[in-house]
Amino acid sequence: MGRPAKFSHDQILDAALAIAAESGPGAPTMAAIAARLGGPTGSLYHRFGSRDLLIARLWLRTVRRFQDGFVRALAAGDAEAAALHVPRWCREHPAEAALLLLHRREDLAARWPAELGQDLDQCDARVAVTLDDFAARSGVDRDRLLFAVVDVPYGAVRRHLLGHRAPPPSVDELIVSVCRAVLA
């Protein structure tokens, strides 16, 4: 019987997230993560297999956490709350927001571990089904909904995140105004 793990998956992913937030997307190497935790690099490879797999798992965990509030708001029938979830989540979770901005899905696609393909599909499907359900229930065109609750909020926070700043509260008012105008 092997020794119990000294660090949980979440502790390892949290260390990778902290390193990425402090030093950029290329900084969380297996050696840097191991040093941050005070553990051996080999145990990280044993648990995750590769840096790409570790980063992909961190990205998936972050996307799921972000999507929880977004999906909950749309499922409750509140498009404005879904749109506002974006800047509010970015303020509450700046490191995670930076990670999603710096490690976009399109950028990860070339290195995406095959064993996580189904997990990625489930994340996509979860949001797609929620958007479809909201559009069907409310009679709102799906493309307009997508623009109001995804494209506008993302665009509104992106430049602030790129500048390593939290989106200011004034962004919320602008997002709501656009959301109401587009969905009216």
Does 8 share its domain with 80? Answer: no
Structural element, H or E, at residue 71: helix 51-75
Q: Are 17 and 32 in contact (CB under 8 A)?
A: no
pLDDT(40) > 60: yes
Instruction: Kindly state whether residues 129 and 174 are assigned to the same domain.
Output: yes
Q: Please indicate, yes or no, whether residues 150 and 87 belong to a single structural domain of this protein.
A: yes
Tell me what pLDDT residue 104 has.
Answer: 66
- pLDDT on residue 22: 86
* Domain boundaries, position 13: 1-49
Q: Which pLDDT score is estimated for 121?
A: 79
CATH value at residue 19: 1.10.10
DSSP 3-67: PPPSS-HHHHHHHHHHHHHHH-TT---HHHHHHHHTS-HHHHHHHHSSHHHHHHHHHHHHHHHHH
The count of structural domains within the chain is: 2
The reported pLDDT for the residue numbered 184 is: 93
Q: 130 in a domain, yes or no?
A: yes
Same domain, 133 and 67: yes
- The yes-or-no verdict on residue 1 having pLDDT over 60 is no
Confirm whether 54 is domain-assigned. Answer: no
Please indicate, yes or no, whether residues 44 and 98 belong to a single structural domain of this protein: no
78, 55 Cβ separation under 8 angstroms? no
Residues 178, 93 share a domain = yes
Quick one: pLDDT at residue 99? 85
For residues 92-111, average pLDDT: 77
Q: Domain for residue 55, yes or no? A: no
- pLDDT tens-digit readout, 138-147: 999 999 999 9
Whether residue 19 is found in the same domain as residue 79: no
Average of per-residue pLDDT across 169-174:
97
pLDDT at res. 23: 86
